[in-house]
Amino acid sequence: MSSTLFTLARSLLLAFVLGNNSAFAEGVDVGKPSSLRNLVPAESIEKAATQEYHQMMRQAAEKKALAPADHPQVQRLRRIADQLIPHVSPFNPRAKRWRWEINLIASKQINAFCMPGGKIAFYTGLVDGLKLSDDEVAAVMGHEIAHALREHARERIAKTQLTSIGAAILGEFVGGGKYYEAFRFGGNMLTLKFSRDDETEADVVGMELAARGGFDPRAGITLWQKMMAASKGEPLAWFSTHPSGNNRIAEIERNLPQVMPIYERSRNPAAAR
């Protein structure tokens, strides 16, 4: 075999391995999502989340707390989202069909969320109150989007239903297609508490999304430093569902080597050629 053919064959083999073995793939490795989520139809969760989200936005509008589309911070949030969303498919192929929405609510709460189906909201207490940079906003947004991509809410609801009504009754709902009634949230979507593992997954997946979108993943460190400083005195809404601490920063630092090359390339794509 000539050296040219050998090089070509080697390149093709390497491309095949990289494309079919996640251990060799670039970026973070968080494994497959929990199979428990399959007990709950994604469409039902996303439908209920959309209804709850729109209800929240209507209530905010009635209180004149919903920022208009031409508000500079709304435009900023949507611009950042536009840089992250194109990179969601590898983590959840269904996400490319989601109808993404990004809104800003005037509130002193230091909080943000992304519901199943891509429904995002930020509070002014977070964006303005902590004076977040674009990179820090991307860290928050990436984290919240990651919860939706990894379907953590869907998994937590399945676990809750298994605990509260039992596997036999849940199976009956599966057969009858009655999930919509069984999982009507009635404003409780945001009260779901994610596990420590869920939070770690969201942090590291969010770092990769931010990096691919051209935002510095190291901003997660300064973000959590600001969060911890702001939490002194009274608990933050964010911390009710988002455990924090120095161990969280350490986890971010541990995963930086996997995402910094992606960030550097996204900032200077010509150098990667």
- 185 CB contacts (<8 Å, ≥6 apart)? 48, 49, 52
Determine contact, residues 148/114, Cβ cutoff 8 Å.
Answer: yes
Residues with catalytic roles: 144
As a whole number of angstroms, the distance between CA 83 and CA 182 comes to: 36
As a whole number of angstroms, the distance between CA 136 and CA 81 comes to: 13
As a whole number of angstroms, the distance between CA 241 and CA 224 comes to: 14
As a whole number of angstroms, the distance between CA 239 and CA 13 comes to: 47
Partner residues linked to 114 by β-bridges: 120
Determine contact, residues 72/89, Cβ cutoff 8 Å.
Answer: no
Count other C-beta atoms under 10 Å from residue 57's C-beta. Answer: 17
